[in-house]
Structure 1
Amino acid sequence: MQKGIKFRIYPNREQENLINQTLGCCRLIYNKGLAMRKEAYANGEKVGYTQTSAMLTALKKCEDFSFLKQADSVALQQSLRDLDRGFVNFFQKRAAYPVFKSKHNYRQSYRTLNRKNNIRIVGKYIKLPKLGYVKICQSMEVGKINHVTVEHTPAGKYFAVLNVEFEPQPRTNNGDCIGINVGIKEFYSDSNGKTVANPQYLENSMRKLAREQRRLSRKQKDSNNREKQRIRLARVHEKITNQRNDFLQKQSTMLIRENQTICIKDLNVKDMMRNHKLAQHIGSAAWGKFFTMLLYKSVWYGNKIVKVPTMYPSSQTCSCCGYQNPLVKNLAVRVWECPNCHAEHNRGINAGINILKKGLQMQSA
């Protein structure tokens, strides 16, 4: 298997300039390839990766584009491969039509391949094509490196995302089965009666974000002070993202380690985000990313994820007698009593129990 590992790198001034130049060259080649394809399509012709690659070769021979020779040639080819993959995804209805890349986007990246071990970690440094040895903050051991993505973030930091070979070792767990019901106030409630509070990192930082945004809006356009304030604002957003990712990683790993079968509801988070009253809170909770982590970790360690149908009324159904109470459709109802068997239910925990029952029923069917 393969996985991505992200390390922060600390290039010197010369290496920073070369990284920024390579980012600009990759963006230029991508845009020229996209323009070439659009023009050919308008003329009724067909252009693929072979034609755009020949265009790159011709540009390098032109004096006006001689600066392309200073960039990593593999990275330039990979930008054209990314463009080709974008069109494949578009025609197979997996993505939108490719658009031109802008230099005003503060998150830029390029990818290069490991050929003849030209990408490797040596002590506290990583060797990258054209850049040489760049200082790296390595937090874990890595296997064979297939390719690396050099990323420049809006906060002004540089990262190397390594795609490495990975041999997951099966982990022993308690063999338990659990049902998970995600929410906004409680991040999730499970069938064991446990609730995990939503840390609400975004909501807790809204005042600070608003203050930094006001300061940014008062700065003169294109000034150095505005750029400094933009980075301060970006670092606040970055901290929120890091806090959320750390929380999701820890919770998903804990569930995988303790349970063999995890039953979740197959929620369409994208459609739920269309509710403008709840969209910010749903996005802050990041249910989709949480489910994605559970899925790929279950593949690594041999766990079983069972998805219960979206429309299954897990919150309205009494987990004791099976009575369906239509009054519980109101999200404000957090605790309710079953009119049939008079059992008192916590909305989240009751839903977790029903999700577990339905998931086990689907698994045995």
Structure 2
Amino acid sequence: MKQCVTREFRAKLTDEQKILCWKTFGNKRFTWNHLLDQYIQYGKANNWEVKYNNYASLLAANPFLKESDSTALNNVAEELYKACKLLFPQGRTPNFKQKGKDRRSYTSNCINNNIRFEEGVGGLNYLIMPKLKRVRIIKHRDIPADGKIKRATIKETAGGNFYIAVVFEIETEEPNYKDAPTGFMEALDYSMPKLFVSYFGTFDVTPEDLRWYYDIEEKLAKEQRKLNRMKPGSKNYYEQLHVIGKLHEHAANRRKDFLHKLSRKMADYYDVIVVETLDLQEMGKRGVREDGKFYCYGKRISDNAFGMFCRFLAYKLRDQNNKLRDQNKYLVKTPKTFASTQLCSNCGYKNAAAKDVSVRKWTCPICGEHHDRDKNSCNNLLKEGRNIINRWTSGDSSFELTPDGVLSEKKPHSKIKRR
């Protein structure tokens, strides 16, 4: 079975290499906007039919595009073609790229070994990239010995740092998922201040561990006030943008470091972890109403990054290189319709009043069991997780294991709206 894995490395670019990257970012935006304009003009005249247009049509009138890697611009044309093919039948069009607001990255494909690793003198490591030639990298992780390089994406962060993500294609054995594990299971109930509440509580964290954005908020406000007093587009303005970007990047790195370490510990300790399916973006928009006041917790939900934590858990549980992987390991997501907080974990009675987040404890009127909201939800998730695994291993086709390593309910195919 072929599988793609990604390794990301910090890149130490020279000034000439940085300028070439910036030019490629601009050429990528230029190619997207001009091809999109051609697609729209052709679509208006031909009942919104989509006809593939290669970026080579722009080369004659714009020779500066030859300074950039041809595969990077070709990837832009492919991406735009797929976007138009998807959105035009829905009566929509892709957005034009705007300078300063688009993502500063591009992807180069590996053709004839033009992307490869190279050992330097004194333990230095280099990655050969098209146009950029030898790029010094910090190789903090080993690369797959039998992996074939497919493509590499170079990106610039808001703080001015460059990273290169290399995608390898490797051959792996098809995992055997015949026997459902019976032990080492854990259930995580999402908690806004604590990230999660678990059934056993072995790896629970405190709200003080999760204040990544709040720790920089005061300093960030001070730097943003400085930015507001500067002339947009000036040299000082862009330098101040880098200062603000470094603050955000520092908070993001602290968040990722904490979640990576926590997810690695849990993936090594447990065989199955059960979580609930949540729409965190919608939760951040709606907020909650308590004591007659409306509270929006979008900042808190974004800061604790429970969705990112679940992604880390999924691929770490799936990782074939895990030395403790003596059993099948998966991340199980319960269906959205499963009311984990409203069900009595003892008798199964559904208490609709427990849906309100202000209800932290309640007593079941049928069996008299007294419940803590979070612990009761974890108990229900644990039972539902075992039920999902048993049904799936028994051949129930309503559940599937995604390539990301998540065992969940199959999603229905979305219907595309026609004009």
Corresponding residue to 2:377 among 347, 351, 363: 351
**Matched residue SS, 1:8:** strand
Task: State which drifts further: 23-32 or 248-257.
Answer: 248-257
Larger proportion of helix: 1
Partner of 1:43: 45
TM-score of the two chains, using structure 2 as the length reference: 0.77
1:163 to 151, 154, 167: 167
User: In structure 2, the residue corresponding to 1:196 is in which secondary structure?
Assistant: coil
The answer to whether the 8 A contact 1:174-1:259 is kept is no
**RMSD value over aligned CA atoms?**
2.8
Is the contact between residue 189 and residue 349 of structure 1 (CA under 8 Å) also seen in structure 2? yes
Match of 2:189 in 1: 181
Cα displacement (A) at 1:186: 1.7
Residue of structure 1 aligned with 2:304, choices 275, 285, 298: 285
Q: Deviations over 1:84-125 (max 9, x none)?
A: 2323443698xx742111222263111111111111121221
The answer as to whether partners of 1:308 and 1:359 remain within 8 angstroms in 2 is: yes
- Gap regions ≥5 residues in structure 2: 120-124, 176-180, 288-295, 321-327, 392-419
Aligned residue in 2 for 1:364: 390
My pick for the range that moved more, 270-279 or 319-328, is 319-328
Aligned partners of 2:264 and 2:172: how far apart in 1?
14
Q: Is the 8 A contact 1:106 1:154 kept in 2?
A: no
Aligned counterparts, 1:247-266, within 5 A:
247-266=258-277
Q: 1:108: which partner in 2?
A: 104
Give the CA deviation at 1:68. 1.7
Q: Is the 8 A contact 2:127 2:137 kept in 1?
A: yes
Counterparts of 2:298 and 2:66, CA distance in 1: 46
**Aligned equivalents of 1:346, 1:174: Cα separation in 2:** 25
TM-score normalized by the length of structure 1: 0.87
CA separation in 1, counterparts of 2:86 and 2:220?
36
**Residue 165 of structure 2 aligns to which amino acid in structure 1?**
V
2:150–2:169 CA contact under 8 A, matched in 1 = yes
Q: Rate the CA distance shift 1:282–1:121 in 2: closer, same or farther, 3 A.
A: same
Deviation larger for 69-78 or 294-303: 294-303
1:132-211 → structure 2 map (5 Å cutoff):
132-143=133-144, 144-166=148-170, 175-194=183-202, 195-198=204-207, 199-211=210-222
Q: Identical aligned pairs, as a percentage? A: 30
What whole-Å deviation, never above 9, does each CA across 1:206-240 have from its counterpart, x for those lacking one? 22221221121122322222222111111111112
Q: Find 1:6's aligned residue among 5, 8, 26.
A: 8
**Aligned AA (1:202):** Y
Does the 8 Å contact 2:50/2:85 carry over to 1? Answer: no
Three-state SS of the structure 2 residue aligned to 1:61 is coil
Matched residue, 1:230:
241
Amino acid at match of 1:116: N
Given the alignment, which residue of 72, 94, 97 partners 1:98? 94
Q: Which amino acid aligns with 1:258?
A: Y
Aligned residue-pair number = 357
1:318 lines up with 2:344 in the alignment: yes
Distance (whole Å) between structure 1 residues aligned to residue 165 and residue 89 of structure 2:
27
5+ residue gaps, structure 1, are: none
Deviation of 1:147 after TM superposition, in Å, equals 0.6
